[in-house]
Amino acid sequence: MKEKYVEQKLVLEVKRRGGTCPKWTSPGTAGMPDRLVFLPDGKFGMVEVKAPGEKPRPLQLSRHRLLRSLGFQVYVLDDPAQIGGILDEIQST
Domains in the chain, CATH or no CATH each: 3-83 (3.40.1350.10)
pLDDT of residue 1: 67
Has residue 74 got a pLDDT over 90? yes
φ/ψ (deg, to 5) at 47: -130, 125
The whole-model pTM stands at: 0.93
Q: Is 84 helix (H, G, I), strand (E, B) or coil?
A: helix
Instruction: Classify the C-alpha dihedral 52-47-65-32 as positive or negative.
Output: positive
Q: Predicted confidence band at 36 (pLDDT cuts at 50, 70, 90)?
A: very high
Q: Predicted confidence band at 86 (pLDDT cuts at 50, 70, 90)?
A: very high
What's the mean per-residue pLDDT of the chain?
95
